[in-house]
């Protein structure tokens, strides 16, 4: 199954991306990052990350979406510094138990296993945040999505903040203008909101994140009128109106749950988007125009997703002597 998923979407993307020179406009802003940062100090790094993600994916196809989400949740909270991987300490409450991550963020053990492998060959050399950034890229490629080159040389942060995670991560039930403001505060723009939302082409959401759309939308006592009737009936059967269903899972993209493609946008055009924040992209003329464009042009989406992911991976990075290279990703070095 993994081979089919890889071949379906990846090869056209790779041809497309190599025909069009990939320009990362953020290289100059992060001049201490380099695509070849570990070429001498850890030449097998990319192979070790690729194998680690593949081994996890082979046993749990959902892990691809989980790793992509983990990277997003790391970078969106005080920059890409692997703070999301830190366990709580006496000095700080970390991000693992923040509301957006508690009982939903997954993939920590995949990064820990890759890190242990890397430490055996390249001790105290490669940061946890670079491993997570590479793993997110590999997860997308394994699911049939685009490849993009990753700048390397980030260093790991030495603290984490549960409060920052609660405040800075976008919520699926907050207004689009709030979500857009959170993106722009990170140096991203409206296009990045639409493009990175396309990550919801893979993965699942827990029922509590969208249940009010099914039964009591905005306190009306009725379902969200924008939700397609057949999708509504299907979701109501997956997520009955009782608390015990809150942790049930529904696919973010029911058309191709495990394949990284542009069907997410087709779903929005058809009013079958799962989250409020997804379907809200159709309510603004600017974002709706982009959604329509991506729904008909998978290559455009792939290219733009690669560009936005490169931007995401360069938010608030630590380089040079800032931060550290953690020996274990769950704790800072003593």
200 is in an annotated binding site: yes
130 is in an annotated binding site: no
195 is in an annotated binding site: no
Q: Which residue out of 3, 27, 71, 73 is catalytically annotated?
A: 73
Query: Rounded CA gap, 10 and 142, in Å?
Result: 8
Contact 205, 274 (CB under 8 A): yes
Nearest by Cα to 140 from 313, 278, 22: 313
Query: Rounded CA gap, 82 and 75, in Å?
Result: 8
Instruction: Point out which residues pair with 34 in neighbouring strands.
Output: 152
Contact 80, 151 (CB under 8 A): no
Contact 198, 301 (CB under 8 A): yes
E strands present in 73-158: none
Query: Rounded CA gap, 248 and 240, in Å?
Result: 9
95 is in an annotated binding site: yes
117 is in an annotated binding site: no
Nearest by Cα to 247 from 199, 209, 276, 218: 209
**For this structure, is 73 an active site residue?**
yes
Q: Helix 63-75 and helix 45-59: axis angle, to 10°?
A: 130
Report the Cα–Cα distance between both ends of the chain, in Å, rounded. 44
Contact 80, 316 (CB under 8 A): yes
3 is in an annotated binding site: no
Contact 278, 194 (CB under 8 A): no
Contact 319, 30 (CB under 8 A): yes
Query: Rounded CA gap, 168 and 166, in Å?
Result: 6
DSSP 91: S
74 is in an annotated binding site: yes
Q: Which two tokens stand for residue 42?
A: 């850890």
225 is in an annotated binding site: no
60 is in an annotated binding site: no
77 is in an annotated binding site: yes
81 is in an annotated binding site: yes
Instruction: Point out which residues pair with 205 in neighbouring strands.
Output: 250
Q: Which residues are annotated as a binding site?
A: 74, 77, 79, 81, 83, 95, 170, 200-201, 253, 261
Q: Which residues are annotated as a binding site for substrate?
A: 170
Q: Which residues are annotated as a binding site for heme b?
A: 200
Annotated active-site positions, please? 73
Q: Which residues are annotated as a binding site for Ca(2+)?
A: 74, 77, 79, 81, 83, 95, 201, 253, 261
């Amino acid at each position: 199954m993994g081979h089919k998923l890889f071949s379906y979407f990846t090869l056209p993307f790779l041809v497309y991306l190599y025909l069009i020179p990939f320009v990362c406009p953020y290289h100059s802003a992060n001049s201490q990052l380099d695509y070849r940062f570990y070429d001498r100090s850890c030449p097998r790094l990319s192979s070790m990350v690729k194998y680690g993600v593949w081994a996890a994916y082979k046993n749990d196809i959902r892990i691809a979406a989980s790793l992509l989400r983990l990277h997003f949740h790391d970078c969106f909270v005080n920059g890409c510094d692997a703070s999301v991987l830190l366990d709580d300490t006496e000095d700080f409450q970390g991000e693992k138990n923040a509301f957006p991550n508690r009982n939903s963020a997954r993939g920590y053990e995949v990064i820990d296993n890759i890190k242990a492998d890397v430490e055996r060959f390249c001790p105290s050399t490669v940061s946890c945040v670079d491993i997570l950034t590479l793993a997110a890229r590999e997860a997308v490629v394994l699911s049939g999505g685009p490849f993009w080159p990753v700048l390397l040389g980030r260093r790991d942060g030495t603290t984490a903040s549960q409060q920052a995670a609660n405040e800075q991560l976008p919520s699926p039930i907050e207004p689009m203008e709030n979500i857009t403001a959170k993106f722009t505060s990170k140096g991203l723009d409206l296009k990045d909101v639409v493009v990175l939302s396309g990550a919801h082409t893979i993965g699942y959401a827990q029922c509590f994140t969208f249940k009010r759309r099914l039964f009591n939308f905005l306190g009306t006592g009725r379902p969200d009128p924008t939700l397609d009737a057949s999708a509504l009936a299907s979701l109501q059967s997956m997520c009955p109106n009782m608390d015990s269903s809150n942790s049930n899972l529904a696919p973010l993209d029911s058309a191709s749950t495990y394949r990284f493609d542009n069907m997410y946008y087709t779903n929005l055009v058809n009013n079958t988007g799962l989250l409020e924040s997804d379907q809200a992209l159709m309510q603004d003329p600017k974002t709706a125009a982009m959604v329509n464009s991506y729904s008909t042009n998978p290559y455009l989406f792939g290219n733009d997703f690669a560009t936005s992911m490169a931007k995401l991976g360069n938010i608030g990075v630590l380089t040079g002597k800032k931060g550290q290279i953690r020996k274990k990703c769950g704790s800072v070095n003593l």
